[in-house]
Structure 1
Amino acid sequence: MIAFFIKRFFQAVVVMFVISLISFSIQDNLGDPLRELVGQAVSEEERQALRDEMGLNDPFLVQYARFASKAIQGDLGNSYFFKEPALEVILKKFPATMELVIGATLIIVCFSVPVGVYSAIKPNGLFSKVVMGLSIVGISVPVFLTAIGLIYLFAIELGWMPSYGRGETTTILGFWESGFFTADGLMHLVLPSFTLASIMLPLFIRLIRAEMMEVLQSEYVKFAWAKGISPRRIYFLHALKNTMLPVITVGGVQIGTMVAYTILTETVFQWPGMGFLFLEAVNRVDTPLIVAYLIVVGAIFVVTNTLVDLIYGLVNPTVKLAGKK
């Protein structure tokens, strides 16, 4: 276990170094940040003086070394627009984004597991065929079209759900401001959560179905049938447990991916999270905020992948975390 963590720690350091280098290198292609800071009324001489003061005229390696030395200490620069540390600005929006990801994850788990298992048990049934057809459609439809369709149906036509915003929130544990614990917050959470879940839900249904069907054809399941074990025990204890191993692996990666996918969902629903903040930062050429966002999302990927490997090893004792046979 210790060897595993040491190995993954060094891997994480390398990955974060690459992410920070790429993130920092693209900032020159996003536009001139001085345009948003000082407007058009400032003379060219004053602009150059400001660029020298901000270090924007320094060589790339000098700028990156200065950035990296501060980043190690948790300083990712100050937002040009908010006039605050970029990391603090992002962390203020982080709970809203994670609230959306948690809501989408719960929807995916609650729907994909029973639907995928049932479709595997009765693959030729009408329900299974309908589910497989709809899953193809679900994979093909862009998330913003799903969002617009849900808004039109449930917010405009039926008037059941709010179409934008986060709704009423309450503070729990002294620091987490959440809409999970208010009726209005939950109502605002439904449509964006289903929209975000629509990206991954068809994938997980098809994955669980395929893995379950393969496991049901294995020798130990056939032996369990021969011993007269009840079908429910075979399906949900013997088969489902082994079906979930690859699902956990894919699921951990996709949860990290959903954090990045929230950009479109948050934009359509005007959800005040990190994704919506990122688009605003791009429009304002707020490069410290853009770089900080990319690094935070990269860190989320690294952490989730490490946790997935750990959980996989706990679920399947035959997997050796340290890589030894």
Structure 2
Amino acid sequence: MTEMIIRRLLQSVVTLLVLSFITFAGIYLIGNPMEVLADESATAAQIQAATERLGLDQPLWVQYWHYMERLFAGDFGRSYVTSLPVSTMILQRLPATLEMTVTSLLISVGIGLPLGVVAGVFPKSPWSRGGSVLSVLGFSLPNFWFGLMLLLCLAVWFPILPAIGRGQTVEVNGVAWSFLTQDGLAHLAMPALTLAIGNMALMFRLAKSGMQEVMLLDYIKLARIKGLPSRRIVVVHALRNVMIPIITIVGLEIGGLIAGSIITETVFAWPGIGKLLIDSINMLDRPVVVAYMLIFTFTFVLINLIVDICYIVLDPRTREALQG
């Protein structure tokens, strides 16, 4: 297990280095950020002076080398647009993205998983068939469409929920959270639900198919012959095996939620790091874009490592294979 963790960490370092260079080079090839950031009244000499001051006149490999030197020193650089430290800008926006993605994950797992388990235990019920149809729609339609439909229904036709923004927040240890206020929860509802719909459908289908397979296995039949209560058979014996692939998928979906939050935050004007990324790309704010990609990749790799460890803990066969 220790060898697996070390190997995965080394792979993560290589992945981060490759991704950082690809992202850096991609923005480098798009053009000079000063052409976007410079004032309309700025002269060519002023633009050139600003370009040299930021080091944007140097070759790609030189700029990348200087960036990595600062990065290994713990400095993500400063934004070309705001002149603020990139780490400060990301930390200011991170709580908004975290509360939206965590709420979305709780909705998708908390609703999709139990409904899928029930549908798998009773596969011929009308609920199971109806849920399968709805899950197909959840897979087929993109998140931004659900977001626009929710805006149309719940904010325009029936003004029940606020359309955009984060609403009222409460600071805890200097960090602003919106889920701690009623107004903030109202603003959080539609973005979190939009982000959760696709994952909810996935959880439903995984739980349903897994329960259908497990309920036909011999050890489940033996438990029934012994007279064990149905709830114990489902929760203790069947659900444990079903959870192994689900945990793997949940880990992967966390990264997908962070990536999907970019579109959702844009639709609902949610002030998270996804919207910060879109704004930074439009302004060619290279330090912010590269820092976001590195943090996102590191988070994704770390989550996958945690999922692998959970998989080993849940599945004795994997533990034995590693020990052997």
Q: TM-score w.r.t. structure 2 length? A: 0.94
Alignment partner, residue 75 of structure 1: 75
Alignment partner, residue 90 of structure 1: 90
Alignment partner, residue 192 of structure 1: 191
**Shift of the alpha carbon at 1:199?**
2.3
**Shift of the alpha carbon at 1:322?**
8.8
**Shift of the alpha carbon at 1:7?**
2.4
Alignment partner, residue 215 of structure 1: 214
Alignment partner, residue 139 of structure 2: 139
What runs of 5+ residues in structure 1 fail to find an aligned partner?
none
Alignment partner, residue 262 of structure 2: 263
**Shift of the alpha carbon at 1:150?**
0.8
**Shift of the alpha carbon at 1:219?**
2.2
Equivalent position SS for 2:317: coil
**Shift of the alpha carbon at 1:42?**
3.0
- Matched AA of 1:225: R
Over the aligned positions, Cα root-mean-square deviation in angstroms equals 1.7
Equivalent position SS for 2:322: coil
Q: Does structure 2 retain, via aligned residues, the 8 Å contact 1:309–1:321?
A: no
Q: Does structure 1 retain, via aligned residues, the 8 Å contact 2:32–2:56?
A: no
**Shift of the alpha carbon at 1:321?**
9.3
Alignment partner, residue 273 of structure 1: 272
1:161 aligns with 2:161: yes
Q: Aligned pairs, how many?
A: 324
Distance, in Å, in 2 between the alignment partners of 1:228 and 1:27 is 65
1:99 aligns with 2:103: no
**Shift of the alpha carbon at 1:142?**
1.4
**Deviation per residue, 1:223-272 (Å, 9 max, x gap):** 21222211111111101111010000011011111101101111111100
**Deviation per residue, 1:32-91 (Å, 9 max, x gap):** 210233234333344334333322222222221111111112212210111111122111
Distance, in Å, in 2 between the alignment partners of 1:15 and 1:224 is 47
Equivalent position SS for 2:76: coil
Alignment partner, residue 229 of structure 1: 228
What runs of 5+ residues in structure 2 fail to find an aligned partner?
none
- Matched AA of 1:142: P
Runs of 4+ that moved beyond 4 A: none
Distance, in Å, in 2 between the alignment partners of 1:95 and 1:30 is 31
- Matched AA of 2:84: E
| 1:247-258 alignment, distance < 5 Å | 247-258=246-257
Q: Does structure 2 retain, via aligned residues, the 8 Å contact 1:4–1:321?
A: no
Q: Does structure 1 retain, via aligned residues, the 8 Å contact 2:93–2:273?
A: yes
Alignment partner, residue 9 of structure 1: 9
Identity %: 36
Q: Does structure 2 retain, via aligned residues, the 8 Å contact 1:121–1:213?
A: yes
- Matched AA of 2:153: L
Distance, in Å, in 2 between the alignment partners of 1:135 and 1:46 is 57
Alignment partner, residue 53 of structure 2: 53
Q: Does structure 1 retain, via aligned residues, the 8 Å contact 2:277–2:288?
A: yes
